[in-house]
Amino acid sequence: MTRILITRPLPDRVIEAATDRFEVEVRRNTAPMSVAEMRSSLVLYDGVLPTLGDRYSEEVFAEFTQPRCRILANFGVGYNHIDVEAARARGLAVTNTPGAVTDATADIGMMLILMSCRRASEGERMVRAGMWEGWHPTQMLGLHVTGKRAGIVGMGRIGQAIARRCHHGFGMEVAYFNRSARDLDFPARRCDTLTTLAETVDVLVVALPGGAETRHMIGAEVFAAMPRHAHFVNIARGDIVDEDALIAALKAGEIAGAGLDVYEREPKVPAALNALENVTLLPHLGTAALEVRESMGLMAVDNLVAFFDGRDVPNPV
């Protein structure tokens, strides 16, 4: 029977769907796999269902020409932790789970916009610390979101979902930076450069895929271009942002605040970020809802089933 490794605990419904079709082993450790574990997975299993942090790099594949494993069915839409070319060179297919994550991630993006602009984390810390002395007219004044200008970096599925929430929900003007123009069902202005976009927005949101092409795409030049009252939000991948440049911009008052769900060296969060009051920090909650994680897992299982049935996989990368 076809042997499958699931590299992290997943919802029961997903495990049941996988075991109905395959001989399944679930790795119970919630931390990413080590290089040794990943190498072993390539020789012990016919397919692997990995996820964020399981770095199937060239180093992992180096000693193999054609391992037993034939497919990496990634749990998640982002797959920059997998060297896709190295996998293909050894005869492995790679799939992901687009669509299932779109609305949940966009919701977190909108939540971070509101939390950062309205200083929600700072206010909660004040209440929990017993420091709140009561309402007064000039306490904790933030940025009113309705009617403001949102800039979206990366107008893919998730970027568009965030933009729709901004436009339809909060009457915001939308501008975006993307490699190509998009045919959109809402009004939006495309900017030719990142700095041009940054100069004109009240909130800048990153919704790009991770990888070598986008690493440190958001850095000091972008933050310097933003208005001093503007806020920055990242729900994509941490290494898209030069975290040191972000910290410097926040400390210098170049931008008013930031809302982050991802980090450059995740799960490590710099002490300097923790120390700043004008930053909202979340523990990568983008898809953290049971029905969403079930949908992601079932999509990954569908990819596995299609592959081993000899059919085209629904979600190749």
Q: Which residues are catalytic?
A: 237, 266, 284
Residue 304: φ, ψ to 5°: -65, -45
The answer to whether the peptide bond before residue 67 is cis (omega within 30 degrees of 0) is no
Rounded CA gap, 88 and 102, in Å? 27
141-171 in b/e form (b: 16+ CB < 10 A) is ebbebeebbbbbbbbbbbbbbbbbbbbeebe
Q: What is the residue whose two structure tokens read 């440190």? A: 216
Rounded CA gap, 50 and 40, in Å? 13
What would the two tokens of residue 97 be? Answer: 């789970």
Rounded CA gap, 182 and 253, in Å? 33
Distances from the Cα of 230 to the Cαs of 36, 125, 272, in angstroms? 45, 22, 20
Residues forming a β-bridge with 56: 82
CA dihedral 37, 43, 46, 48 (to 10 degrees): 20
Rounded CA gap, 266 and 283, in Å? 9
Cα end-to-end span (Å), the chain: 26
What would the two tokens of residue 152 be? Answer: 């979206």
Q: What number of other Cβ atoms are within 10 A of residue 218's Cβ? A: 23
Rounded CA gap, 232 and 161, in Å? 17
